[in-house]
Amino acid sequence: MTDAYGRWIDRWERKLATRDTNRVIRPFEWGTGSLARLEFPRCPAEVNGDAAAVLSSFTTQALADSDRFYSYAPVRDFRLADGRLTFTSPVCSEHRQNDTVHARWYPAPEDRGRALIVLPQWNSGPEGHAGLAKLLNKFGISALRMTLAYHAERKPEEFERADYHVSSNIGRTIHVSRQSVIDVRACIDWLQAQGYSRIGILGTSLGSCVACIAAAHDVRIRLGIFNHVSMYFSDVVWTGLSTQHVRRGFGDVVSQDDLRRYWSVISPAPFLSRFQNRELRSLLLWARFDSSFLPVYSRRVLDTFRQLQLPHEVFTLPCGHYTTGQFPFNWIDGLAMCRFAARYL
């Protein structure tokens, strides 16, 4: 029965995964030019034919001082109008439109100073997770739904998808992921300025990865809900159903192990130990039949949380990745997250 159910979910997953016909296989690029603009670590744009060595050195330095890598200048231009928060990202990218951060504010009456930053999945539209934010309101929690870099309102008009956040350009993917993490931290600044002291974060899929890194580097986050989990950003890209067009873009230039090393600085794995000795509770959600965040990688996260003795709970979804967004699994998922937030935040 279990095998038949698993095959049914897999067929459903693949049907949902092939609805989009605008996926583009982009050419491989080392992307050192995207990193050359950063003050730390120093990354020369001219690599003299050894981009691999430059990226390895960059990653080593960034991991050794990740607090500095994910540091930022305070935002001075927060604007809230008609429930929409906008501000200039502390990180400058290749496109001006991407550098205005957008977030929808869903205040709950009598929230008792509790607020969650909500980060949707890769390629989410402007209304993604709006329903979840409203559901959190019913549990007495205010929600600030932030648009990730190069998504929705931040996506240049000529882009059909949020390809710049996850692509076969190694350096640019690092740069954009760092931008999303830092934008989250700026959102925490705004919530604090509004008087919120009990702040949590909820991320789904790509948003889960960003949320985990932000929580590891910002002790103001008291609760983390990580909806679909993997130790390494690169393992999902390399093996997931939803990112096979990105995987093909790498060709044979780099291996899975190479990419895991380069993208370790935008992965949860190196930073989970930072959750120790923190007032931080986590909910880890994973899908038993996930075709994008393969269960073998999700279980490694669960094992690491147990080994580090981090306060957490685990919720197993009886579906796959795409099917998490379908009834009844979307309700199962949403209620599990809201109940956890209401209990511990």
Contact 188, 243 (CB under 8 A): no
The pLDDT, as a whole number, for residue 292 is 96
Nearest 5 degrees, angle CA 114-CA 204-CA 139? 30
Q: Is 110 left (phi over 0), alpha (psi -120 to 50) or beta?
A: left
For residue 337, which amino acid is it?
M
Chain mean pLDDT for the chain: 95
Interval 207-212 mean pLDDT: 98
The pLDDT, as a whole number, for residue 43 is 77
CATH of domain 2-22+29-344: 3.40.50.1820
What is the distance in angstroms between the CA of the first residue and the CA of the last residue of the chain?
Answer: 39
- For residue 50, what are its two tokens? 């050894």
Task: Determine the distance from the C-alpha atom of residue 84 to the mean position of all C-alpha atoms in its chain, rounded to a whole number.
Answer: 21
Contact 227, 203 (CB under 8 A): yes
Contact 170, 262 (CB under 8 A): yes
The pLDDT, as a whole number, for residue 202 is 98
Q: 284, 290, 280, 327: which is closest to 302 by C-alpha?
A: 284
- Can you give the length of the chain in residues? 345
Contact 98, 148 (CB under 8 A): no
Confidence of residue 226 (pLDDT cuts 50, 70, 90): very high
pLDDT for 197 beyond 80: yes
The pLDDT, as a whole number, for residue 20 is 79
Residue 216 to residue 278: CA distance in whole angstroms: 10
Task: Determine the distance from the C-alpha atom of residue 48 to the mean position of all C-alpha atoms in its chain, rounded to a whole number.
Answer: 33
- What would you report as the CA-atom Rg of the chain, rounded to the nearest whole angstrom? 19
In the three-class reduction of DSSP (H, G, I as helix; E, B as strand; rest coil), residue 317 is classed as strand
Decide: pTM greater than 0.85.
yes
pLDDT for 234 beyond 70: yes
The pLDDT, as a whole number, for residue 48 is 66
The pLDDT, as a whole number, for residue 22 is 84
Burial class (CB in 10 A: 0-12, 13-18, 19+), 195: exposed
Cβ-based neighbours of 247, under 8 Å, separated by 6 or more: 237, 238, 239
pLDDT for 111 beyond 90: yes
Interval 65-92 mean pLDDT: 97
Residue 323 to residue 59: CA distance in whole angstroms: 35
Q: Percent of the chain scored above 90 by pLDDT?
A: 88
pLDDT for 88 beyond 90: yes
The pLDDT, as a whole number, for residue 216 is 98
Whether a cis peptide bond, with omega within 30° of 0, leads into 156 is: no
Q: 176, 153, 180: which is closest to 163 by C-alpha?
A: 176
Q: Which residues pair with 142 in a beta bridge?
A: 115
pLDDT for 49 beyond 80: no
Locate the domains of the chain by residue range.
Answer: 2-22+29-344
Nearest 5 degrees, angle CA 73-CA 278-CA 64? 55
- pLDDT tens for each residue of 9-39: 999 999 998 887 788 899 999 999 899 888 8
Cβ-based neighbours of 340, under 8 Å, separated by 6 or more: 223, 225, 283, 313, 315
Q: Which residues pair with 199 in a beta bridge?
A: 115, 221
- pLDDT tens for each residue of 162-192: 999 999 999 999 999 999 999 999 999 999 9
* Half-sphere exposure in the Cβ direction for 126 (13 Å, CA): 8
Q: Are strands 221-227 and 142-146 parallel, antiparallel or unpaired?
A: unpaired
- pLDDT tens for each residue of 287-342: 999 999 999 999 999 999 999 999 999 999 999 999 999 999 999 999 999 999 99
The pLDDT, as a whole number, for residue 241 is 94
The maximal CA–CA distance of the chain, rounded, in angstroms, is: 59
- pLDDT tens for each residue of 211-220: 999 999 999 9
Contact 298, 290 (CB under 8 A): yes
The pLDDT, as a whole number, for residue 315 is 98
